[in-house]
Amino acid sequence: MTQLPLQAVLFDMDGTLVDTERLWWEAVEEAAGRPLTEADRPEVLGRPVEHTAHWLAAATGRPAPELADALHRDFADRVRTGIVPRPGALALLDALARERVPTALVTASPRAVADTVLDALGASRFAVTVTADDTEHTKPAPDPYLAACRALGVDPAACVAVEDTETGVSSAEAAGCTVLAVPSLAPIGTAPGRTVVAGLDRVTPQRLRSLMPHRLRVMSWNLWHGGTEVRDHRAKQLKILTETDVDVVGLQETHGAAAEELAEALGWHHHRAGDNLGIISRHPITAALGDPGVGFYGAAGVRIEVGGHEVDVWTAHLDCAPYGPYESAFDGLTADALIAHEGVRLARLRDALRRIGAAPGVPVVLVGDFNSPSHLDRPDVAWPVTRAAEEAGFADSYREAHPDPVREPGHTWSPVHTEHEDGSGRPEPQDRIDFVLHRGLRVLDSRTHVTGRPRPWPDVEDNDWPSDHAAVITTFALAGKPVGGGA
């Protein structure tokens, strides 16, 4: 089981590290001229001074800039005389320092207030400090946490953010962080990727590491007649699978026994569907999904268990003819004609999507050789196959990681076909036709993969890469399950 390493811990300030939420509440009450109530919390807690000042201005008729200045002064005065660290806060900061885990202070308070608090806590405890003055948008926008991660040089998915308000939690989760919530004045509900505890006094670096999400690295790979066009294909396939450190592989063109043989050699689990599709997994397969007797084209899936999580993984192979890129490049078909010729593939995918359905709470990965370009890559044609997957709630992991199709085309067809194989010398259209789609997961990274420098067809038998497609590999984070209560 692979968990992401803990790269940094990002701390909110007010109410999380120091007991200032009470002081802020009192300062707002003073400006409002009345006691605050439960209904006022969303406008007061976790909000920047300017937000609360505008809210007070609407209620009191006083100018917002005047109220903001008064709130700044009153709160700063209260902080200087009444700051108290939350129980366990300093001990946790010291423990993280001993274990060389970087920390950052990420607050919606202005720099002047943060500096006052840092004088009490010790500014040297934090490698980075981000305040309301440092980003265009502050909490609940993700900007402050993203800025802290950039300054630290860490991945938000490998960080824990410690927060005490729903506003701060929203900011950290939008940035992609795992969250440890320590409510101060208002309760916080549980959610995937979020742990709620009563206080910091029993939180340790080890506990924070245990919150990190598990990694799931998924590959889509068309084996090209099982790999038989290349010498020693099985040994080369095993070497590639080992070197890429993948967890689950959706296979197409298995040529019968490839899934069983690869899984047996790796000590993995496998599922074979017909003579063309298979899935191999280092994690246990708990159920087979779809039609086990599917034909050469179609889709099949499995449910796997990953560290207490269930994930459905499907592999699909869609019909290869008529092939849109050929009809576009060689025949000059219009966009409408190209779309009209996608009917067989579209029907095949819709059948797969119907079989996949929607299992509440179970994320889904759909991989495969779709034999169709993506509408995200070629805006001049609304390619219907990938659009249908998108309409069913599936996101394209490669385009999530690489939004610009010009800068990162991600071509998977073809690393060995540079010229069309009819002997005409025409360049082979290069396209992204292999996909790792998902519903309900967080993408950490996605890339295409080819080993070595494959020689072009037909001189391929000694290639290190035993396929005519590039593989696609996406690394997902499996968010932790909701945890509430306790310390």
As annotated, the active-site residues are 12
What are the φ/ψ torsions at residue 106 (nearest 5 degrees)? -130, 105
Residues 6 or more apart in contact with residue 233 via CB below 8 angstroms: 226, 227, 466
Strand order through the sheet with 248-252 = 269-273, 277-281, 248-252, 214-222, 471-478, 442-449
Cis peptide before 360 (omega within 30 of 0): no
- CA separation for the pair 345, 37 (Å, rounded): 59
389, 367 Cβ separation under 8 angstroms? no
Q: Which two tokens stand for residue 350?
A: 């819709």
Burial class (CB in 10 A: 0-12, 13-18, 19+), 115: middle
What are the φ/ψ torsions at residue 182 (nearest 5 degrees)? -125, 85
259, 272 Cβ separation under 8 angstroms? yes
- CA separation for the pair 23, 14 (Å, rounded): 9
483, 308 Cβ separation under 8 angstroms? no
Helix/strand number for the chain, H first, E second: 16, 18
Q: The dihedral of CA 131, 136, 139, 144: what is its sign?
A: negative
Q: Which two tokens stand for residue 414?
A: 């073809």
437, 366 Cβ separation under 8 angstroms? yes
Q: Which two tokens stand for residue 315?
A: 């592999």
